[in-house]
Amino acid sequence: QVQLQQWGAGLLKPSETLSLTCAVYDGSFSNYFWNWIRQSPGKGLEWIGEINHNGRTNYNPSLTSRVTISVDTSKNQFSLNLNSVTAADTAVYYCARGGDTPMILTYWGQGTLVTVSS
């Protein structure tokens, strides 16, 4: 059973860096892309980016200047860093596994609410 468990700081001040990590259990880590998605309160989903086990990344063009996604294959974990956060970055952040075809999200983490407030 594939499980994704995520964690990270839930309260940030403006200009700080958001950092989240997602651990993958029984997920065939080497075979898929691993994604981050966010959802602002009461709003829709926004894809942030993805990474594979080799460290190849793809990012949302609107966030690419502030986003870094990294991978630790020894721990089957991947991480999200988003710098210079503002209140607009307040959202529930999800990690998710890709699928056998491009750009599908098959298994999701539980979500982490990150609030940016002074």
Partner 1 sequence: QSALTQPPSASGSRGQSVTISCTGTSSDIGGYDYVSWYQQHPGKAPKLMIYEINKRPSGVPDRFSGSRSGNTASLTVSGLQAEDEADYYCSSYAGSNSLLFGGGTKLTVL
Q: Which of 65, 102, 117, 118 binds partner 1 (CB under 8 A)?
A: 102
Q: Which of 21, 94, 114, 116 binds partner 1 (CB under 8 A)?
A: 94
Task: Mark the segment that binds partner 1 (CB under 8 A) among 7-15, 18-26, 76-84, 92-100.
Answer: 92-100
Angle at 94 between CA 92 and CA 99, to 5 degrees: 155
Q: Which of residues 23-52 bind partner 1 (CB under 8 A)?
A: 43-47
Which one, of 44, 28, 38, lies nearest residue 97 by Cα? 28
DSSP 8-state code for residue 38: E
| Cα–Cα dist 28/100, whole Å | 11
Q: Which of residues 49-68 bind partner 1 (CB under 8 A)?
A: 58-62
Task: Mark the segment that binds partner 1 (CB under 8 A) among 13-21, 24-32, 72-80, 102-110.
Answer: 102-110
Helix (H) / strand (E) containing 12 = strand 11-12
113, β-bridge pairs: 92
Q: How far is the CB of 12 from partner 1 (least distance, A)?
A: 22
